[in-house]
Amino acid sequence: MEPVYRTFAGRRPTREVRVGTTAVGGSNPIRVQSMLTSDTMDTEACVRETLGLVAVGCEIVRITAPTVKDAKNLEVIRAALREAGCEVPLVADIHFKPDAAMEAALWVDKVRINPGNFADSKKFATREYSDAEYEAEIGRIRERFSPLVQRCKDRGVAMRIGTNHGSLSDRIMNRYGDTPRGMVESALEFARIARESDYHALIFSMKASNPKVMIEAYRLLVARLDELDPASGAAASEPVLESHGQDAHATYPDSIGRDASATFHGEALPEDSWSYPIHLGVTEAGDSEDGRIKSAIGIGSLLMDGIGDTIRVSLTEDSVHEIPVAKALVALAGTRRGTARLPADPFAFSRRASLRIEAAGFPLGGEELVRVAVRRATYDRISHKLDGLGDFQPEIIYEDADVLEIDPMDEAAAAAANALNGSRLVTIPDACLLDVIPAFRLLAARIDARHPILLKDRFAGPHGPEDFLTTLLTAAAHIGALLCDGIGDALIVQGEPAPGQSLRISYNILQAAGVRIFKTDYVACPSCGRTLFNLQETTARIKAATVHLKGVKIAIMGCIVNGPGEMADADFGYVGGAPGKVNLYVGKTPVKFNIPEAEAVARLVDLIKEHGRWFEPSEIKPA
């Protein structure tokens, strides 16, 4: 049976999992967390960074424990924090070392393990596993993993089973491929072993650097958990359209026979429920505006569907800068009202099949580029300086494009559009009472696919004073989510009043959503105690050397712990191999090893040249 993915009028009902003094899931707020960039053996630095994170609103702090020695020092870090009066829950981040996990579980409130590299094989070998051989591998994992489960159960320590797209085991890769399904099944294998011991203090995550992959994996995870949950059975029904004055919204009834928020009012989930909390994150999001936009698309779209109980925004910056972004995304999710119909296949990206038309002199729809529109007033303010805007050019003037505005709640208006001969560019009027994402999903469901759709980041312009971060994240979460659903042939950002900034946001959303690549793309991981070079400085040097390479994607990773799969979409990779040494990749394949860090950026440039992807800045043609 094909899995069914549902969205929720409220948050998805989940179990409550205690992480030290903080509860995740259930009726609790969406929790904000981060990860230390300091060396785990530097106790003073770890304590200082943790206190700084807590001061800006971080609720859970994760620390890497790559070895038993590092794991032992978690006792010292914890004691120093408690002596300072800081009770923030601590999480040990474990990769490869079950012994380190066993030690860490003595001192922390939660252990994060990655199924792809915890007691599992990853030699990038291709082989066929018989069912018996596959089960034998599961038995071997059970033997290595069960002691950690028992220790966590005995000590009241929670666990995150956190799959990364780039680090699936050989066994999973050979059976499911490098796919979201493989990510989900990998996590479920470990969860089943935990449940055999009646251990349920579990939290799941499905992280990837590509927002589309990340969204697909989380949607598939939630669908699979619902399939396994004895309390869930019915498929999602048609949306119920409700109108309550200013609060009109479209929502699904909850499939388990009660309002989706029922567990938030004290109703307990069954003991054998699979409704575990979900941790959201886009790994290797990068830095600056691009990292914030990519995070908003991946995390924001799922929060808008009612999915997510705790989040971490992974930026290649000092960790304190992650918290305001995470808090703003949580606040944005708190403004949502209901939801509406998803695309026919929410588990795979497929662009809605509109027809090609001309709008204000630009082709759009069909296989054409997703276009950027502005209002006439905006164009008039910048028309004298278009040469200075570079790639951020306005393409369509809204008032000149013969846009047909349709309220998706008006079935007669949708029917009239479907009766038209030919195709029209359609959008939603600013007077619409629905939220942006439900409104455009409903519009896409009700009008013929031949009509291209122009997306808006919000209706009726700015809603009172906002800072730029809120404006940026709102636009990225709303438009990015729809683009990842395959909806949208043009877009307009209305919430940012500055014309140049609104155009920059528009193009950067298109780039982050992977639907229109117009500049160099970077996959850059956040720093942590495993990092083998200064990520912020190195990223800046690589960008300075390569930022003019339009259409080239470069991965910058402090180590390879999350696996080369995180670089699956990248053309070239710059990866920490050892202290002071860098390995260079072409796609997933390492091709240059142990390059001195001082030479590595120049050698990366040479590698790009070797593969015919380099050109000098002077060769760039105007857009």
Q: What is the CATH number of the domain that holds 590?
A: 3.30.413.10
Same domain? 532 vs 508: no
Judged by average pLDDT, the poorest of 234-248, 371-385, 387-401, 545-559 is 234-248
Mean pLDDT of the chain: 87
Report how far apart the first and last C-alpha atoms of the chain are (Å, whole number).
48
Per-residue pLDDT, 241: 34
Do 200 and 58 have their domain in common?
Answer: yes
Range of the domain at 544: 521-619
Last residue of a domain, one of 484, 512, 540: 512
When divided into structural domains, the chain yields a total of 3
- Give me the pLDDT at residue 577, please: 83
353: nearest Cα among 367, 340, 342, 364 = 367
Q: Which residue from 255, 226, 279, 264 is spatially nearest to 26, judged by alpha carbons?
A: 264
C-alpha distances (whole Å) from 322 to each of 206, 317, 391 are: 19, 8, 28
Neighbour tally for 469: CB within 10 Å:
16
- For tokens 């390492």, what's the residue? 590
Is 570 a residue whose pLDDT tops 90?
A: no
Q: What is the mean pLDDT of residues 322-337?
A: 93
Amino acid letter for position 421 = N
Cα(460)–Cα(483) distance, integer angstroms: 21
Q: Given this model, what pLDDT does residue 359 score?
A: 94
Strand blocks (E) in 195-252: 202-207, 240-242, 249-251
**Strand ranges in 286-331 using DSSP code E only, listed in sequence order:** 310-311
Across 4-18, 69-83, 254-268, least confident range: 254-268
- Dump pLDDT digits (tens) for 343-380: 778 888 899 999 999 999 999 999 999 999 999 999 99
Same domain for 28 and 107:
yes
Spatial CA neighbour of 120 closest among 159, 167, 55: 167
Contacts of 587 (CB under 8 A, 6+ apart): 567, 568, 570, 571, 573
3-state DSSP assignment of residue 179:
coil
Q: What local confidence, expressed as pLDDT, does residue 250 receive? A: 35
The per-residue pLDDT for 5 is 80
Rounded to two decimals, the pTM is 0.88
Q: Which residues lie across from 589 on neighbouring strands? A: 586
User: In this structure, are 142 and 269 located in the same domain?
Assistant: yes
Do residues 391 and 530 both lie within one domain? no
Q: Are 73 and 107 in contact (CB under 8 A)?
A: no
Backbone angles phi, psi at 620, to 5 degrees: -70, 130
Residue 331 belongs to a domain: no
CB < 8 Å & 24+ apart, contacts of 594-603: 597/533, 597/538, 600/574, 601/538, 601/541, 601/542, 601/545, 601/574
Query: For the domain that residue 269 is a member of, what is the CATH number?
Result: 3.20.20.20
Query: CA-CA distance, 316 to 525, in Å (whole number)?
Result: 6
> pLDDT at position 249, please?
36
pLDDT digits (tens, 9 = 90+) for 16-54: 999 999 999 999 999 999 999 999 999 999 999 999 999
